[in-house]
Structure 1
């Protein structure tokens, strides 16, 4: 079987710089491309979807992956029924603004509170602990530090507000392709409620749970790639593209 194209929409940082291990793990079954977002422009979900749309392949089947923050973008795009879209993957993501596990606050309130944080001075060790949990390591912190320093705080605050107001649940019903939800068992940002909401709107969604933190594609790249390959092979053998 020849390699299938795979388009990845990255998490809130929007750079994709921490996804190189995942891109490598997807080969040779997938030819994987990460679509980065502008670092210095304040763009909402609708504007980001408009920027991504021309990057979707028009001449060959492909998978679309929405990681974390980018789930609502991927859902919007898939709901428009692009002609060659073979499957949609939501990874540690959501259709409606997520609530961290155990939090009594709704996502919009949390986004407002997070917007008050001094994002330009966020300690790398704290971010690593939140995003990677027990998978945090000196190597990961060395990669995270320069990335965090390069991010525009105003852009990140806007993305936090966008995530806190997101609700594309109704668009899930418009998606015609197979749908996979990769859930991180130790996610400290996106609770199981986000998976349940997707499943309520799309009972045919397949969920694969992986022993991983919120940074699932980073910490467990080979496991994530293997799950996606197995799912692709499953629906392909059933008559998909």
Structure 2
């Protein structure tokens, strides 16, 4: 009988596991709604929307997010793209209820776009300050969605860009160009998963290889997807993460 009760408690814990998603460069949760819906009802899922404040670099965002981590339930931390280093540094602090870390189309060190021989940190400073908010939508759309784009995503992408303060965008791009969270990643104690988008035009395979060197026990699933992996392949990504969490 005690074993049955233990099994029931385990099943209940699995059903109440929370997935906390940290968003990409836009910093909001609007572009993650399909992915969050795909995680439910198997998981309780929500995204943290960052303040639209240009003073908040990576260090400040880690401190901001730390106070918003669940304290009364087990949770998996999912870092999308820009937020990978935030998720890594939070996990390295070893919050007591953290059960797993998932990084999606992300990086631990300044990434190299597949089309460039140089990492983002080595590109000219003016490239980090390009006015992406006012860039032709077709250019941004091709970079983040590629052949997965459609009118619905085009409209949602434009709305997200319009809502983003250009000063915030410059701050975040500068942070990406300088980031190095490899030491923090090596200090992570929970199971770690990397979702790699094979058609990513912003983050090359080298970012996965860097993460694997820093934490060799990290597992990797490769998906035929663009950089907006959680948007274009929400159901597949949610299923992969869910099955992986079941094993851990």
Corresponding residue of 2:245:
232
1:66 counterpart = 2:66 = no
Matches of 1:26 and 1:110, distance apart in 2: 37
Secondary structure in 2 aligned to 1:182? strand
TM-score normalized with structure 2 length = 0.92
From 27, 35, 50, give the equivalent of 1:37: 50
* TM alignment of 1:185-200, pairs within 5 A: 185-200=198-213
Distance 1:76 1:111 in 2: 27
Per-residue CA deviations over 1:101-155 (Å, capped at 9, x if unaligned) read: 1412221233723334233411222111110010011111111112211111111
> Larger Rg: 1 or 2?
2
Q: 1:201-238: CA deviations, max 9, x gaps?
A: 11111100111000000000000000001100111xxx
Q: What are the within-5 Å matches in structure 2 for residues 143-222 of structure 1?
A: 143-222=156-235
1:28 counterpart (29, 32, 41): 41
Query: 1:68-105: per-residue Cα shift (whole Å, max 9, x none)?
Result: 00000000000001001000000000001100114122
**For 1:194 and 1:40, how far apart are their aligned partners in 2?**
27
Is the contact between residue 179 and residue 205 of structure 1 (CA under 8 Å) also seen in structure 2? yes
Structure 2 residue aligned with 1:99, among 90, 97, 112?
112
Aligned to 2:20: 7
Q: Does 1:87 align with 2:96?
A: no
**Secondary structure, counterpart of 2:227 in structure 1:** coil
Native 8 Å contact 1:92 1:216 kept in 2: yes
> Are the equivalent residues in 2 in contact too, given 1:132–1:213 (CA < 8 A)?
yes
Checking the alignment, whether the CA contact within 8 Å between 1:111 and 1:160 is kept in structure 2 is: no
State the Cα deviation string for residues 165-199 of structure 1 (Å, max 9, x = none). 00010111211100000000100011000000111
For the pair 1:51 / 2:59, whether they are aligned, the reply is: no
**Quick one: distance in 1 between partners of 2:218 and 2:23?**
21
In 1, Cα distance between equivalents of 2:155 and 2:242:
30
Q: C-alpha displacement at 1:41, in angstroms? A: 3.6
Which of 112, 137, 150 is the matching residue for 2:150? 137
Question: Gaps spanning 5+ residues in structure 1: where?
Answer: 236-241
Hey, what does 2:5 align to over in structure 1? Answer: none
1:18 and 1:42 mapped to 2: Cα distance?
23
Aligned 8 A contact 1:111 1:164 in 2: no
